[in-house]
Amino acid sequence: MRLFCGLALAYETRRNLELMLQHLRPSASINWSPPENWHITTKFIGEQPEDQLPEIVRALGEVPAPGPLEISIAGLGWFPNPHQPRFLFAGVQCPATLADLARETDERLALVGVPRETKPYTPHLTLARMKPPSEIADLRRAIAALPLADFGRFVAAKHLLYQSKLGPNGSQYTVLAEFPL
């Protein structure tokens, strides 16, 4: 099973992003992430045998709860950089406790055999993926013409364990466990 941990978006924030993307989608033929898959990843776990799931859930239950997190989604950017983009993302502004949650999650899962993260935690919301070279000049112009890129604020109260299954129409995410913050 392919697993990851993350935070779900509030409905209002997701709706604001959807309205903006209705404007941007016609600008580029790239792989747009479906709104039902939008989340803020805290830990990518990867492929795990199904019999490992109880240990993973137990380990996640031991992650110290930081309390509800105030999250703001604003701004758009490119990974790894604007010159050779592979991802379009929305920025995530949050308290340092989100990075602490990601670090603690990584540490607890390492105790049950999940490989540790090798890069610093950078919260973001993936909106689209592209394979270079992609023609995105029109998309860049459409983004530059946006009146603002503030998509809303919300309080995340649950840390979620997701399963990702590849289907004929892309990945489908299912919440397997919830952990109160």
pLDDT of residue 141: 92
The residue behind tokens 């935070």 is 7
The string of pLDDT tens digits covering residues 60-70 is 999 999 999 99
Percent of the chain with pLDDT over 90: 84
What's the maximum distance between 2 C-alpha atoms anywhere in the chain? 50
Q: How far apart are CA 145 and CA 122, in angstroms?
A: 26
Q: Which amino acid is at 7?
A: L
Tokens of 54: 């109880």
Active site residue 83: no
Q: What is the mean pLDDT of each run of 10 residues along the chain (181 residues)?
A: 97 95 91 93 96 97 96 93 89 95 97 95 94 84 88 97 88 95 96
Report domain 2-180's class.
alpha beta
- C-alpha gyration radius of the chain: 17
pTM of this structure: 0.91
Domains of the chain, residue spans? 2-180
DSSP 63-106: SPP---EEEEEEEEEEES-SSS-SEEEEEEE--HHHHHHHHHHH
The string of pLDDT tens digits covering residues 10-47 is 999 999 999 999 999 999 989 999 999 999 999 999 99
Active site residue 39: yes
